[in-house]
Structure 1
Amino acid sequence: MTLISVGHACVDVYQGAVAALVPFFVSERAYTYAAASGVVLAATLLSSVVQPLFGALTDRWAMPWLLPVSTLAAGAGVALSGLGGSYPLTLLAVAVTGIGVAAYHPEAARVAREVSHGSHTAMSWFSLGGNIGFALAPLMVSAVVATAGLHASPLLALPAVAGAALCATALRSARTPATGAATARAATAVGRADWTSFTKLTGAIVCRSIVFVGLSTFISLYVRQRTGAGSASGTAALFVLYLGGAVGTVAGGRLAARYQRVRVVRWSYALTVLAVAGVVFVPGPPLYLFVALTSAGLYVPFSLHVTLGQDYLPQRMGTASGVTLGLTVSVGGIASPAIGALADATSLHTALIPLIALPGLGWLLLRTLPEPATPEPVTPGPGRPRAAASPASPASPPTGDARPTPATDTGHHPLSG
């Protein structure tokens, strides 16, 4: 699980790297806000479209080889994005990064779920790896590009090489017989899909995604304007936005062990409304505090989105992972050009104001979301694989405000068999 989590960091550093490169594209290539946000769109639009496709494929076939291959693809795109000055080629390069990221997450989430036996806390550590990668991205990009310029971008491929090696090592360590994989899949095939709840969850994730990607794209430029400081102030704000997510993700897993996941997610969305308002309206250095609070509000539900989606669609965990992980970091990029165009027409401050309302809309979608019942394992009889009971069985814990069962508290989740 440690190797998978660190490998996740090596992949998600490239999602953060695209946003971290935006100020350098603006300064070195004189991109407008709309053109700069188009770079983010190129990395996220294709990713958001194909990630559920990769999820559907992993529902049918285990494809662990995707982990090292997709890691290398993600790194190659960012490495090539700084070479040459052609805008179309830059878009193509970051699109390759988006495809690499899209191919990685559904299979990685499936493998992590099986290795962790469905533990919410363990899945939060898997998500933490990705968030650490996000947090390190602006520091890595600044260290390389601010020192040597965009033409030094091939150096940014080094984490991909390390991540591919870690993924390959983790897969060798976690390899199980084919019968074990079949048993794990059979255990998830008994639960009943709750598409209504999954759709509501997806809508909330879309709202969260637009806020996160919008702030990731423009927070560095915005903080420079609000504080009147140099580029270091913008890099620091982006680092706080990403690093706070590392703390929030672990906190989310621990809170889910004490309270229900849906309740924790609702609290987080409510907090984010106030935090984003502080980022937009509070002047000077105190806005860093609100950047940190925004980060916590956005990231506490991060890993909980994944496990909730998997529990709502127990027969389609790859699809659920592709949507919950993919939309979290992809769909928001579709809205980035609109934010950039509004900023060009008015001001960056005005363009960020609509982001305050989106977490509130997400909270409304989550308000009626039920806590999914966790299936208990059934002792296998002679000649049949071990399977999970349906959510309606007496062994399932009650929904509502009841505390999780000891199986959840201890991190032993039956869905993986």
Structure 2
Amino acid sequence: MTDTLASRAVDAPSALPTTPSTVASTTQTALPILVMLSVCHLLNDLMQSLLPAIYPLLKQNFSLDFGQIGLITLTFQLTASLLQPVVGIWTDRHPMPWSLATGMGFTLCGLLLLAHADSFPLLLCAAALIGSGSSVFHPESSRVARMASGGRHGFAQSVFQVGGNIGSASGPLLAAFIVMPRGQGSIAWFATAALVAIALLTRIGSWYGAHIGAHRVAARAQRGSGLPRRTVVVTLLVLGVLIFSKYFYLASISSYYTFYLMQKFQLDASNAQLHLFAFLGAVAAGTLIGGPLGDRIGRRYVIWGSILGVLPFTLLLPHANLLWTTVLTIVIGLILSSAFSAIIVYAQELVPGRTGVIAGLFFGFAFGMGGLGAAVLGELADHIGIEAVYALCAWLPAIGLLAWFLPPVGKRAHA
């Protein structure tokens, strides 16, 4: 697939006529659309983050072990990761503005099933439905964000991403104050968020349909990165390994941080969720910083500094007391999260004109690595203990040394 990405540009004819207003939109940042996308990403990831946030509740209600918890996460993440590249490939050739709202409908169904599930297989089905909604939302929304960027690609990707990070951070907080005290059935209250997102995505889909013609013309006019095909393929593989290190480590925090705090520092579930909220809030802040910083200084520097630069803090974390654990996880979230927007835009510049495929591949691979990480680390925690898992994961950011091999691409090739 990477050979195809490296050698082909968008070649499907535009199905829509272009007008002066749509042509102008390719050079102007459509901030209202970016804000609506960010809000939808917030709502989408808020609903998705309820699943890991209620793991302590599900573990108690269904007598689950860590391996089963990891399997729930794996089901969600793999459903999303395997379908996202397929969605990206198809919509590069056949844009579907209505798919955004339709995908959110899958999330709505999964959320309602999660609220009323009474067996482990139904929990897995709910996770799969939520993952299917994600598989449509992320590549298509990333495409619309690039369309609305007006050339400020890192800024647009960060605005889009930060909504998701805020939603991911809010999920555990809402779970602590709403779901944990009231029980599993209260998850159904969040169906309102899905309905609001469907309404907004219908409006975004109308804008998408009206502007896709001009943007596909602009995409066909883009030149390649100028790099040999072999270099492009190797670079995509390096980016994949960097995402592996980032999301395996993030899986150790997002899925098991509450259990780590409860076991090591004897916190109750609600207090542990507040610490997780602090970490995820730092992730949101780092995401907002990373994209514009990449626009300014070059994306390679951001990728390098983000993944490798977090290593000293991850190595200290397993040996810290509660106060310094909180401080270190906030620093880790802030630094590590700045990479993803830069990686997405860097890859889109590496293979111009294949926005959907790149977004689908990298969002999908990120989800897949997060799910695989949750499953593997869950099984490992059952055998060696959660504290030993954190000591082992602390070395993952050392893989960031591979960023040295990323070639310069895009507007800041000199960076």
TM-score grouping bracket, smaller chain normalisation = 0.7 to 0.9
Question: Are the aligned partners of 1:144 and 1:156 in contact in 2 as well (CA < 8 Å)?
Answer: no
Quote the Cα distance in structure 2 between the aligned partners of 1:40 and 1:136. Answer: 18
Q: Does 1:14 align with 2:52?
A: no
Determine which of 353, 362, 365 is the counterpart of 2:402: 365
Partner residue of 1:225?
263
Determine which of 173, 182, 199 is the counterpart of 1:165: 199
Partner residue of 1:352?
390
The one-letter amino acid of 2:393's match is L
Quote the Cα distance in structure 1 between the aligned partners of 2:308 and 2:117. Answer: 44
Partner residue of 1:235?
273
Residue correspondences, number = 377
Runs of 4+ in 1 over 6 A off after TM superposition: none
Quote the Cα distance in structure 2 between the aligned partners of 1:81 and 1:316. Answer: 35
What does 1:78-97 correspond to in 2, within 5 Å?
78-97=111-130
Quote the Cα distance in structure 1 between the aligned partners of 2:305 and 2:147. Answer: 28
- In the alignment, structure 1 segments of 5+ residues that lack a partner are 375-396, 402-417
CA separation of 1:53 and 1:156: change in aligned 2, threshold 3 A: same
Question: Are the aligned partners of 1:222 and 1:348 in contact in 2 as well (CA < 8 Å)?
Answer: yes
CA offset digits 1:33-55 (Å, max 9, x no partner): 11111111110012111111111
The one-letter amino acid of 1:117's match is G
The one-letter amino acid of 2:65's match is T
Determine which of 58, 62, 69 is the counterpart of 2:91: 58
Deviation at 1:3, TM superposition (A): 0.8
Deviation at 1:373, TM superposition (A): 2.7
Question: Are the aligned partners of 1:14 and 1:137 in contact in 2 as well (CA < 8 Å)?
Answer: yes
TM-score normalized by structure 1?
0.86
CA separation of 1:258 and 1:83: change in aligned 2, threshold 3 A: same
CA offset digits 1:166-211 (Å, max 9, x no partner): 1112233454256424313313465556222122112111221111
Deviation at 1:8, TM superposition (A): 1.2
Partner residue of 2:7?
none
Quote the Cα distance in structure 2 between the aligned partners of 1:371 and 1:16. Answer: 35
TM-score normalized by structure 2?
0.86
Partner residue of 1:176?
210
Partner residue of 1:209?
247
Determine which of 252, 263, 266 is the counterpart of 2:290: 252
Question: Are the aligned partners of 2:62 and 2:119 in contact in 1 as well (CA < 8 Å)?
Answer: no
Partner residue of 1:5?
38
CA separation of 1:110 and 1:188: change in aligned 2, threshold 3 A: farther
Partner residue of 2:20?
none
Question: Are the aligned partners of 2:97 and 2:209 in contact in 1 as well (CA < 8 Å)?
Answer: no
CA separation of 1:189 and 1:100: change in aligned 2, threshold 3 A: farther
The one-letter amino acid of 1:85's match is D
Quote the Cα distance in structure 2 between the aligned partners of 1:210 and 1:336. Answer: 8
**Structure number with higher helix proportion:** 2
Quote the Cα distance in structure 2 between the aligned partners of 1:350 and 1:179. Answer: 53
Determine which of 94, 102, 113 is the counterpart of 1:69: 102
Deviation at 1:32, TM superposition (A): 0.7
Deviation at 1:344, TM superposition (A): 1.2
Deviation at 1:354, TM superposition (A): 2.3
Partner residue of 1:130?
164
Higher alpha-carbon deviation: 311-320 or 251-260: 251-260
Question: What root-mean-square deviation, in Å, do the aligned CA atoms of Structure 1 and Structure 2 show?
Answer: 1.8
Question: Are the aligned partners of 2:244 and 2:369 in contact in 1 as well (CA < 8 Å)?
Answer: yes
The one-letter amino acid of 1:162's match is V
Question: Are the aligned partners of 1:106 and 1:321 in contact in 2 as well (CA < 8 Å)?
Answer: yes
